[in-house]
Amino acid sequence: MPSMAKSRINAAAWSSLLIAVAFVIVAGCGTSKVNEVKAPEYADHSVRTLVIAPNEDSFVDDSSMLADAIGAELVKRGYAVVGTREATVFLAKYNVIPADMLTPRGLAALAKEKVDAVLAVSSAPSKLGGSGMRHVDVTVTSTSTLQKIGEIDWTNSWGGIPGSPADWMMHKDLPAAAKEIAAALAKLLG
């Protein structure tokens, strides 16, 4: 009888150990990563009003939805964010098309309208499948110096093979991603 009880204890211990190891692996797979880089040649000036650059694609995708969510988070942090439609009207006053927003002529037109910087957001899905927003690149360009202020490089959490249940549990959704990126932008802009 004692050997049967001992084998049940061993089986329970092994299954507990297996569960603990699985938890550590899933929890340790990856958290989102934020890397903010201020351009070394950038001369500090106050950035309080930003415009979101339109996405190259005319369809609504992860990048444009994320850009809007980042803009909403920046508003909560006290920044003024000019919408894409309003920015298009600003540019039209100076005969600049939206695709030329980040050119010197487009940036100068926005500066005349009291916009301090342009925020460009692009996201890339995983090449292995799964949900979008694996990697997000956010660039901030000054309208007064026409130079890049800096950029945010954000990588989403992962938990195994893209599209797997573990990955879906670890993967941050759009609102959580927008909050993290906006916090990094606020730190970058001061």
Question: Is a pLDDT exceeding 90 seen at residue 122?
Answer: no
Helix (H, G, I), strand (E, B) or coil at 98: helix
Question: Is a pLDDT exceeding 70 seen at residue 101?
Answer: yes
Q: Could you tell me the CATH number of the domain that includes residue 162?
A: 3.40.50.10070
Q: Are 61 and 131 in the same domain?
A: yes
Q: Tell me the average pLDDT across 12-16.
A: 61
**pLDDT band at 59; cut points 50, 70, 90:** very low
Q: Are 101 and 22 in the same domain?
A: no
20 half-sphere exposure, CB direction, 13 A CA radius: 6
How much is the mean pLDDT over the chain? 77
Question: Is a pLDDT exceeding 90 seen at residue 14?
Answer: no
Q: Tell me the average pLDDT across 119-128.
A: 74
**pLDDT the model gives residue 28:** 45
Range ranked top by mean pLDDT from 14-28, 52-66, 85-99: 85-99
Q: Are 166 and 179 in the same domain?
A: yes
Q: Are 62 and 110 in the same domain?
A: yes
Q: Are 58 and 125 in the same domain?
A: yes
Q: Are 79 and 19 in the same domain?
A: no
Q: Are 71 and 111 in the same domain?
A: yes
Ranges 16-20, 68-72, 128-132: which has the least confidence: 128-132
Q: Are 17 and 44 in the same domain?
A: no
The count of structural domains within the chain is: 2
pTM above threshold 0.85: no
By residue range, what is the domain housing residue 25? 1-29
Q: Are 80 and 127 in the same domain?
A: yes
Ranges 19-28, 80-89, 139-148: which has the least confidence: 19-28
Opening angle at CA 118, ends 67 and 102, nearest 5: 110
